[in-house]
Structure 1
Amino acid sequence: MARLLIAGATGLVGTQLVRQARAAGHEVTRICRAETPGDVRTVVADLRHPYDLAERLPREAFDAVLYLAQGDDHNDFPANASNAVALNIAAPVALCQWAVHAGCGRFLFASSGGIFGSQPDPAVRITEATPPAGRGLSFYLSTKARCEELLRHFEPHIPLVVLRYFFVYGAGQRPRFLLPRLAQRIRLGETIELAGGRGALLNPIHADDAAGLTLAAALGDAGGSINIAGVQDTSVADLAALLAACLRVPLLARETPGAPACYLADTSRMRGTLGSPRVALEDGIRRSFGAGEASA
């Protein structure tokens, strides 16, 4: 049995991670902004104000500390720039510092595959060694990239794992993310514009798989950066067709000039150290956006 401390335990991946970890017999403690229903041990702390975080945490060592937290308004720049810095830099650094002093086994930070931006050549996948895009990143993605840099300084003191998630999706996901946003536009009868007739190229991963691979990273001994993505390549055009079929509505789409963006992640390290996703893309889309979910 492993003892896990999870920040961001009520999000899309975090909720599934807690469920899977407890089902496997592991002990979970979560950090939440307020008291949260359920029988999971909870530490109440607002990660937007992380400087007293150490005082709120239990005086005990966990086998793994996982930072998955993300604000609801993370892309609302400049209105919530300070919250993005607090949640994506100050809080994970403070929690990692506490984990070192508490003698915890390892620290995992949830980053984003978005830090690489679109790649110019679809034949070249994004690997763990691909340099971040730098210029042109959003403020939110810039904070993720900067936090990765800062956390590297802790590696002599605690094993560090940076998980870079690529287009996670699942039932109940907030509407600002790619797939629910695309589903809503299709449901409303809006025309989907597809660069080069295909739209962006990507390999999304279902939240159940993302959580399972995250748990494997928490329990394993792999360190460094690991891309967390699906093993089925697709395009926005293909996703739109799948979503329209699930929603049982016609798809309106038109081709626009230009080459499609490419966000295809290399998953060889993930598959070699953590395992492979189990949810096939079509099945995941049906489970997330089928008739029952669509009406929810």
Structure 2
Amino acid sequence: MIEKIPLAGVIGSPVAHSKSPRLHRHWLERYGIAGYYIPMDVAQADLKEVLAALPKMGFVGVNVTIPHKETILGLADLVSDRAALIGAANTLIFRADGKVHADNTDGIGFIENLRHGAPGWEPTAGPAAILGAGGAARAVIAALSEQGVREIRVSNRTRSRAEALRAEFGPKIVVYDWVQAANMVEGAATVVNTTSLGMVGKSEFRVPLDALSPGTVVSDLVYTPLETTFLREARARGCVAVDGLGMLLHQAAPGFERWFGRRPEVDEAARAVVLAG
């Protein structure tokens, strides 16, 4: 009897820009796994119907991207604690019993990227400072909290979104006005940009970084360009700079393992494949 070839993919709208298919194809070829990873542009109105059809077509799971990461929680049968805490899912597993399991691996990807890019990083060394209060910030805050960071400073252009995070995550969140973002980084051991500032086609990153201390671990979730203004200026001040590409790679690994049965290695070859796209 011929076994079914496992299928996986990414659903969102748009998805043509996604680097995930290139990465997963690289891993499938590297490990000699008979499987496919397919980008699928799915409209919000069709999401429920598509989700019901995919397992019947041989799909073992999918990644979920904008604009479906929040909506999908209401359609899944099982939701992991971390996906519920973050309020979004990026990975679905279609189980053998027919149930859809929703998870979020963004926090895992963020922490793994920090540990790889800054091997001496110690989460309890001091406060963390987060620029932004969107979905990516939620994943980062949840991950840092889990790692034992005791104070997490948050600044967002719309203060109410940062206040909402404090209401949800508790008193360890300290909110700063956006005009005080430059002061927020003083004394921080970890500083993370979760905004789109500095991304190709977006507004420039203009938050002054004079208060950064040498040795501070800084990370930018933006990876186009790979060397952002934020990272370049932080590195010039003696900080340990970690680019955002590694988070993309590391968050993809758990899904690949669940779908295809092999934990893929995140290495220079994987980075090169994604950068070439």
More contact order relative to length (CA 8 Å, sep ≥ 6): 1
State TM-score, norm by structure 1: 0.38
